[in-house]
Amino acid sequence: MTTVVPGRRTRRQSELLDRLLILFLEQGFSRFTLDDLAAELRCSKTTLYALAPSKEQLAVEVVKHYFKNATAQVESAVARQTRHDRRIAAYLNAVADALRPASRTFLDDVATFAPARSVYERNTRIAAERVRTLIEDGINNKMFRQVDIAFAAEMIAHTMQAIQRGDIARRTGLNDAEAYRELASFVLHSLRLD
């Protein structure tokens, strides 16, 4: 079996991760065996073992890959904005865009598989902290009204965690992408100067 070297991927391995990500976003990952995945990707199981030593760890690697790509897209969207009031909307809307391809099956698989859920939870905490800094920047640059930043960040973090856990989807019928779009609208309108 090939040894997995974290962070060092060949072009072929990166392409396989991209293909796995597309497959998992559409169909989830719990139903697949390594044999299924090898057949679907037309590669050997050894090739998959080079990515991760088990199907479970492969799922985690793909979820990490998803968040790495999503983070780059989100931060790129924020960097294109010069006004602080538009940066927070760009951030949350870009999160919504990144979640749009994720099927309910994929999100349910992530939610029920603790190691993958842990990756999502960690990224949600990072995202909530990023939103807090965007609020603080907007207040400091007089683009947002003065609010208790810690409270606003905590409220947003709880909403983001509820989206991540699937609570918002169950209670409102909104998918994760739609929920992030609504959160962006709510936050932006509540912070704007009158």
- Confidence category of residue 7, pLDDT binned at 50, 70, 90: low
**CB pairs under 8 A, 24+ apart, for 63-72?**
63/24, 63/110, 63/116, 63/119, 63/120, 64/119, 65/17, 65/18, 65/20, 65/21, 66/21, 66/24, 66/25, 66/102, 67/119, 67/120, 67/123, 69/21, 69/98, 70/95, 70/98, 70/99, 70/123, 71/123
pLDDT digits (tens, 9 = 90+) for 55-97: 999 999 999 999 999 999 999 999 999 888 789 889 988 988 9
| Residue 26 CB contacts under 8 Å (≥ 6 apart), including other chains | 101, 103, 106
Per-residue confidence (pLDDT) for residue 38, from 0 to 100: 95
pLDDT digits (tens, 9 = 90+) for 13-48: 999 999 999 999 999 999 999 999 999 999 999 999
> How many Å apart are CA 65 and CA 63, to the nearest integer?
5
Per-residue confidence (pLDDT) for residue 6, from 0 to 100: 52
| Residue 131 CB contacts under 8 Å (≥ 6 apart), including other chains | 88, 91, 92, 153, 156, 157, 160, 187
pLDDT digits (tens, 9 = 90+) for 111-161: 899 999 999 989 988 988 998 999 999 899 888 899 998 898 889 888 988
Per-residue confidence (pLDDT) for residue 5, from 0 to 100: 43
Question: Residue 150: left (phi > 0), alpha (psi -120 to 50), or beta?
Answer: alpha
> How many Å apart are CA 34 and CA 20, to the nearest integer?
12
CATH fold group of domain 11-191: Tetracycline Repressor; domain 2 (1.10.357)
